[in-house]
Amino acid sequence: MQHPSDPAVCLNMQPYSSGYEKDPNRPFLTQARGSAAAQPNDYFLWSIFNFGFFNTCCLGFIALVFSVKSRDCKVVGDPEGAARHAKTARWLNIFALILSLIFIVVFIIIIYASSTTIMEELQKRQKGQ
């Protein structure tokens, strides 16, 4: 059991100023909430949408993984890694969306063609009776 004077985890809950700053008590860089322009978009909501609705060839899931990686990099103060993972997530989301829309259009064309063929065959049988 640990002694109360030996904390295992030290949380710095003090407010911080705008911009990046290096706190000697914290190992990571922090960024203030007001300067969100420097942080890249992680495309998390788009990845969730593609994972739920357009998960063709698991691209939506993979995009979600890269979005979470981007978000994690933003938390630990790695803007380059966050931007790299966000770019990958964006391209995976684009490919998932395009591939899914192509599959949907092809599926609709196949259903339409088969239904018209079935209707023509039924009309031929009715006339033949």
Tell me, what's the pLDDT at 68?
95
Whether the CB-CB separation of 85 and 41 falls below 8 Å is answered with no
Whether the CB-CB separation of 69 and 85 falls below 8 Å is answered with yes
Structure tokens at 110: 């196949």
Q: How many residues does the chain have?
A: 129
- How far apart CA 78 and CA 86 sit, in angstroms, is 12
- How far apart CA 4 and CA 75 sit, in angstroms, is 29
Tell me, what's the pLDDT at 6?
52
Tell me, what's the pLDDT at 12?
55
In a domain, 5, yes or no: no
What's at 107, amino acid-wise? F
In a domain, 4, yes or no: no
CA distance from start to end of the chain:
91
Q: Which domain holds residue 87?
A: 41-128
HSE-CB at 98 with a 13 A cutoff on CA atoms is 6
> Could you tell me the pTM of the whole model?
0.64
Per the structure, the count of domains in the chain is: 1
In a domain, 3, yes or no: no
In a domain, 117, yes or no: yes
Tell me, what's the pLDDT at 128?
77
In a domain, 60, yes or no: yes
Q: Mean pLDDT of residues grouped by 10 in the chain (129 residues)? A: 53 52 53 56 93 91 95 91 94 96 96 94 86
In a domain, 31, yes or no: no
In a domain, 25, yes or no: no
Tell me, what's the pLDDT at 26?
54
In a domain, 34, yes or no: no
Q: Which residues pair with 23 in a beta bridge?
A: none
